[in-house]
Structure 1
Amino acid sequence: MSSPPARPGIPTRPSAPGAESVPGAKADVGDLEVIVPDVGTSVRWWTHGYPDPLARWHHHPEIEFHLIRSGSGQMLAGDRTIDFDAGQVTLMGPHLPHNWLSDLAPGELLPDRDVLCQVLPERFTAASAQLPELAGLRALVDRARRGILLSGASRARAATLLERMGQRDPLGRLAALLELVDVFLSAPDDEAHPIATAGYMPSLDDATAARVNTVLDYVEANLAGEISMTRAAELVALSPSAFSRLFHVTAGITFSELVRRRRIARACHLLRTTDLPVARVCALSGYTNLANFNRRFKDETGTTPSAYRRGDG
């Protein structure tokens, strides 16, 4: 598989207008998500919206095929933070920590944002021992330990399969799962990209998960106001230097980089979906100085806020 493509920047495709609510999923559920299997099937398919208590930094033993139906934002997976837009398809391996932060304005919700298909990898192992045609399943699970991001035609095919899976009975879902596996196995190198860096070892302890979720909640709840690394460190009972190291190792970017990208992502969303003056967008995105906002916006997107709104960027 090839390396992930260069960060695409904030998507310019307009999204549907709506009210936006500051995400703030509670983090007291711990880092391990306990998934109750559906009765009579080895394949679990379901959807949820955003914000949602399930939308948090977490991991689980199941592999997870994941489709983002709507919105844009940043995906945290392993030690990488990558921009996403509607239609993103990924495969998360067992115990690979992940989360998606959507760009929202105050009061907005994204119903049914996520489509998921989850299955225990042990079921793949057992099946492949009996059916040689399924030998590739084990190889896919191993590749998925770093996560896989699809692009191009492979992404489109996988998205269609994930959507249609929800309309099928248990046997039909199993058949769709095998088709989905084939898409990932047969995807050319330039359409299947590993996510986490080579050699990444996830931190799966409860303390790390609780700290990450506390910090993400703090950032999302204060995008329009003051965000301080010192305050973030206090919230998780670490010194600023220890917190800085922990966050960089966990998210793959610095805390200040995450804050900047989340604020510019909110500004892009407001410019696409509202008629608010640029000065008001600046304030709602946490910037107190318009000149500084314009400079940061251009650094991140390559264009000015006004040109971005016109679609000139």
Structure 2
Amino acid sequence: MSSLPGNVGGRPDSGSLEVIVPDGGTAIRWTSHGYPNSLAKWHYHPQIEIHLIREGSGQFMAGDGLMSFEAGHVALIGSNLPHNWISDIRPGERLAHRDVLCHVRPQTIRMLSSVFPETAGFEQVLRRALHAVVLSGESARQAADLLVAMGEHDEDRRVADLIAILSIFEHASPDESRTLVTPEYNPMVAVGAEDGINAAISYISKHLDEVSLQDAADAASMSPSTFSRFFKRVAGIGFADFVRRLRIGRACRLLSCTDMPVARIQRMSGYSNASNFNRRFLEETGLTPSAYRKNYSPR
């Protein structure tokens, strides 16, 4: 599988086009990879994507939406919808088995529905996928198990796996299925943005404890004012809010997975002032750092 900028069916770039080539004689492309990885970037493709995060935590971007993710996160991404998963990792750290995913063209699903009317409900699944569907609870666990198992199955069995996964998305209860992208989102607002947005995200992720608007703008080769407008337009969230979400996400991971003092976590998350850190943490999570550690640290 390769990635390169381009144009599909006359549609201009809206993210980095990922050209997905299924194995010969198959319609379903299943793969897995770790993080960091050249494929783990802000990008889009004509195929729908069913994606499982097996390890780590961070922020999931799709269209103009942003949400936290952790291991067990399952999402369905619609055709040509820009998306990215940003894991919070230490310098030099690698998540060897982070991603499991499969791709299939929406036309293939529609052809299936034309032959088997029992799957007509998948059309609604495809429409919702244009806004990025995220599963939780038992629905996510069932879909995750099927997606992992798909990698061990022959091509014919993978068709059955795909139908079963789409059926889970179709029948998931409202409390276990949500969309992330706003109804008003237009992918065309991101035309030509792939280089700038990926450069900015990469720089922010690597320098999260000390990044500034000027630094990120320099990475994207823009003036700060131009970059600020650009980032809000493309990512659907302001630069400062985006950095805050990543920083609080890092603090959450360190609080729940380490015994580091809160003061050190505060500094590693980019906050020099304790009161500011506590206020931002409370706004984002509804808890103080100490209460979060008490609630979410392994017993």
1:283 aligns with 2:247: no
1:294 aligns with 2:278: yes
- TM-score of the two chains, using structure 1 as the length reference: 0.83
Distance 1:142 1:301, change over 3 A: closer
1:111 aligns with 2:108: no
Q: Which residue in 2 is equivalent to 1:146? A: 131
Q: Residue 125 of structure 1 is aligned with which of 110, 115, 127? A: 110
1:264 aligns with 2:255: no
Letter in 2 for 1:81: L
1:36 aligns with 2:21: yes
Q: Which residue in 2 is equivalent to 1:187? A: 172
1:195-206 matches, within 5 Å, as: 195-203=180-188
Q: Residue 77 of structure 1 is aligned with which of 50, 55, 62? A: 62
Shift of 1:167: 1.4
Shift of 1:31: 0.7
Q: Which residue in 1 is equivalent to 2:213? A: 229
Shift of 1:125: 2.5
Q: Residue 61 of structure 1 is aligned with which of 46, 60, 69? A: 46
| Equivalent pair of 1:105/1:269 in contact (CA under 8 Å) | no
Letter in 1 for 2:158: R
| Equivalent pair of 1:104/1:269 in contact (CA under 8 Å) | no
Distance 1:295 1:193, change over 3 A: closer
Shift of 1:249: 2.6
Any idea what SS the aligned residue of 2:254 has?
Answer: helix
Shift of 1:312: 7.5
Distance 2:136 2:158 in 1: 23
Shift of 1:161: 1.1
After superposition, the C-alpha distances for 1:91-130 in whole angstroms (9 at most, x for unaligned) are: 1000011111112233322111111011011222333333
Shift of 1:310: 3.4
Question: Is there any run of 5+ residues in structure 1 with no aligned partner, and where?
Answer: 1-26
Any idea what SS the aligned residue of 2:19 has?
Answer: coil
Shift of 1:206: 6.2
Letter in 1 for 2:214: T
Distance 1:145 1:96 in 2: 7
Q: Residue 217 of structure 1 is aligned with which of 194, 197, 202? A: 202
After superposition, the C-alpha distances for 1:147-189 in whole angstroms (9 at most, x for unaligned) are: 1111232222211211211111101111110111111112233
| Equivalent pair of 2:256/2:293 in contact (CA under 8 Å) | yes
Q: Which residue in 1 is equivalent to 2:193? A: 208
| Equivalent pair of 2:113/2:120 in contact (CA under 8 Å) | yes
Shift of 1:204: 7.5
Question: Is there any run of 5+ residues in structure 2 with no aligned partner, and where?
Answer: 6-14
Distance 2:281 2:216 in 1: 24
After superposition, the C-alpha distances for 1:175-231 in whole angstroms (9 at most, x for unaligned) are: 110111111112233322122111311137663111111110110011122x22133
1:172 aligns with 2:157: yes
Count of matched residue pairs: 286
- TM-score of the two chains, using structure 2 as the length reference: 0.87
Distance 1:312 1:204, change over 3 A: closer
Distance 2:184 2:292 in 1: 38
Distance 1:311 1:130, change over 3 A: closer
Q: Which residue in 2 is equivalent to 1:14? A: none
Letter in 2 for 1:190: D
| Equivalent pair of 1:79/1:250 in contact (CA under 8 Å) | yes
Letter in 1 for 2:140: R
Percent identity reads 49
Q: Which residue in 1 is equivalent to 2:234? A: 250
Question: RMSD of aligned C-alpha atoms?
Answer: 2.3
Distance 1:85 1:201 in 2: 27
| Greater relative contact order, per chain length (Cα 8 Å cut-off, separation 6+) | 1
Distance 1:203 1:215, change over 3 A: farther
